[in-house]
Structures are given as C-alpha cells and as structure tokens.
Structure 1
Amino acid sequence: MKNLDHSQLQKLKNEIQDRKAELIGIGLKYGLSHQETIQFSQRLDDLINVYVRESAHKKRVGPNY
C-alpha cells in the first residue's frame, strides 16, 4: 500500500479498530501466548505499521500530494 488517499486511510483505521476487537476475543479464547493469538497480533501490527507510515507520509507532503 502506497500513497493512500484520505478515504483509504480511514478504511484502514476502521479495519485496525475492528481487528483490535477481534484480537481481544482471540486472546480471551486461546490465551495470549497461543500461536493463533500471536499470528493475529502480528498481522494487526503490520496494518498498524502501514497506517503509521502512510499517516506520516501525508503529513510530510501535505493533503494534496
């Protein structure tokens, strides 16, 4: 994902929020050290990293890049 526009960035933010809630459920079901929980957490980390990177990019180049 590169150069996301505002609506794409918002969709990504919403997906992250949904996945966080899902991760809580997985953690409660399997425990925090279970492989399923860890893998899901890592995928969530990847989404968060994309969001942070894209948000920083938008701030550097401005809203009309």
Structure 2
Amino acid sequence: MKMNPNYIVDEHNHRIAVQLDIKTFEKIEEIFENYALYHLMEKEDNDDETLDLESAKEYYTTLEK
C-alpha cells in the first residue's frame, strides 16, 4: 500500500497532523478492524459463545460500517 501523506505543521515546523487520501484511510481502518476481530476470536479466556470462521465472517458482514 502506497501512502502519500500530507503533513500539517505548526509555526515551528513541527508535524502536528497528517492527511491521507480516503482510500488509504479506509484500507488502514479495515486492517485495524480485521486485526481486532481476529484477536477477539482468538481470545481463549472469553466465556461468550464462539463462532467458527465462516460464521464469524457472515456475522461481520452484517455489522454497520
């Protein structure tokens, strides 16, 4: 994934923020969501009902974006 960040700087030329194009941001957001979902599914001490991979994928597609 190629990123072309635009940095926002303060009066001392210190970077204080970054702008990314929306496609890059959405891809990063998707990666974080998948990472978190994977770790929730792998958590061994979770007493909640567990789903197999296919059921989890099906459930995940029903969640609001």
Give the TM-score of the pair, scaled to structure 1: 0.40
As a proportion of its length, which structure holds more helix? 1
TM-score by length of 2: 0.40
Q: Greater strand share, 1 or 2?
A: 2
Higher relative contact order (CA 8 A, sep 6+): 1
